[in-house]
Chains A and B, each alone.
Chain A
Amino acid sequence: MAFKRKFKQKESVELVSMIDMIFILLVFFLVTSFVIRTPFQERGMYVPTPENSLGRAQIVIQFIDADRFFWLDESASAIVTDIENNFGYLSPSRLRDKMISELLNQNIFSFNQLEEKLTQLRRQADQNPFTKFFVLIRCPNEIPYFYIIQVMARLSDTSYRNIKYGCVGGTLHQIRQCRRIYTVYDTDAQGNRRQNIRIDF
């Protein structure tokens, strides 16, 4: 009687899946190795962090509410200097109050006028391509961010991209209650002497 030959199953390693796994491992180790290596190589890299420094701007837009804003630009320095010269005998707090009330009287605009002001600024920026403008937008928490975005969109829409802007939280009340407003004479990067206004909170 002849023995029936059993079907002998071939024993083999599944190379295809093994190669896949090896590739995955290879890629994993490559990636993680580079992640670790980066801090070594870039330890000296400068990382810009917010500084506790003075906010410098050509224009400050302080949102009061959804309909009104307070616009401070270089024309305000004439008001401040004028009050400093003529009302210097007042106490510091009364001098500040006088400056604030005068500035508020002349520089509060409705939101509809904002478009006009921004158009003027854009025109000025387009006519002076080498001049950099910085606009500081101060906005209380209650105002929807939508309004800020509208302003940012207008400021970005210049031919030479020479208007930069920054946004910080803040209310008009803080400006009213500031420690001091005064004129500072300073020399800018171009060597021009400027009559700046400083507001200390």
Chain B
Amino acid sequence: MTIYKLKFLPIMGIFVFFVCLLWGWRAYTLWRLPFDEVQIPSVSQEEKLEIPPRPGIQGILITGPVIEPLRFTIDLSKAGIRSLNWRQLQTVDPYTDVKVNCHIDDQGRLVFSQADLLMEGHTEAGMMIQRALKTWMYKPYKTGTIRFWFNLPSKGKKLVIDIIELKRKDDIPEHIPIYDGQIHLIDGIPINHLYIVKK
């Protein structure tokens, strides 16, 4: 062996050592594996595998159109609707205590009689409220009783609107949601003065 070739003997030795090390590591890894993972599945085993059912085999769900929810609000598209001016009401009678029990009919009209208007002596403010409320019309999605309580001297809520007794109309399919929108037309009322009683 020439001197030139003898120079490679240590390198060869290192290679052989690494090969042996890798072989040992591989043998150890294989030894740790469960038996079924080491074995390649035979053809007969593969044939036993069931083809899993895929989506769409048992049924199909076709996405339909979005159901647009209805909003129960004052129908501003109707002519003759008048708003109530809150500041003016406060100026006219800062001690206004007026209760109005109204009924919303099938067409969305706000209906109430003189007996439903409890003015407690605050006639001017009551008449002002009455003039505005008489003109209000709602989208015809709900019907039933709606109550307004104008209680200006209150330190808490100065206007309470009770819509608990409003019910959705029977001719509107149940799957269509009805959300409550703007149910009053009062200009200038601060949001913290208003309380809507609903379910």
The interface bits of chain B over 7-34 (1 if a CB of A lies within 8 angstroms of the residue's CB, else 0) are 0100010011011001101100110010
The interface bits of chain B over 95-110 (1 if a CB of A lies within 8 angstroms of the residue's CB, else 0) are 0000000000000000
Contact residues of B between 59 and 116, Cβ < 8 Å to A: 59-67, 69
The interface bits of chain A over 156-195 (1 if a CB of B lies within 8 angstroms of the residue's CB, else 0) are 0000000000101010000000000001110010001111
Expressed in whole angstroms, the minimum distance between the Cβ of A49 and any Cβ of chain B is: 6
A77 to B61, CA, bound (A): 11
Known contacts being A22-B16, A36-B26, A50-B54, is A12 close to B60, with CB within 8 Å? no
B29 to A74, Cβ gap below 8 A?
no
A55 to B61, Cβ gap below 8 A?
yes
A53 to B1, CA, bound (A): 73
- Asked if B177 is at the interface (CB within 8 A of a chain A CB), the reply is yes
A53 to B56, CA, bound (A): 7
A15 to B60, Cβ gap below 8 A?
no
Q: Interface range on chain A: under 10, 10 to 19, 20 to 34, or 35 or more?
A: 35 or more
With beta carbons under 8 angstroms apart, the residue of B25, B61, B66 that contacts A57 is: B61
B62 to A26, Cβ gap below 8 A?
no
Nearest A residue (CB) for B1:
A12
A196 to B62, Cβ gap below 8 A?
yes
A137 to B107, CA, bound (A): 47
A52 to B58, Cβ gap below 8 A?
yes
With beta carbons under 8 angstroms apart, the residue of A22, A30, A74, A192 that contacts B62 is: A74
- Asked if B37 is at the interface (CB within 8 A of a chain A CB), the reply is yes
Q: Assuming A26-B22, A57-B62, A195-B67, what are 19 further A-B pairs, CB within 8 angstroms?
A: A12-B1, A18-B12, A19-B15, A23-B15, A26-B15, A33-B26, A33-B29, A52-B53, A54-B55, A54-B56, A54-B60, A57-B56, A74-B62, A138-B56, A168-B54, A183-B64, A188-B63, A195-B64, A198-B62
Interface residues of B, Cβ cutoff 8 Å to A: 1-2, 5, 8, 12, 15-16, 18-19, 22-23, 25-26, 29-30, 33, 37, 52-67, 69, 175, 177
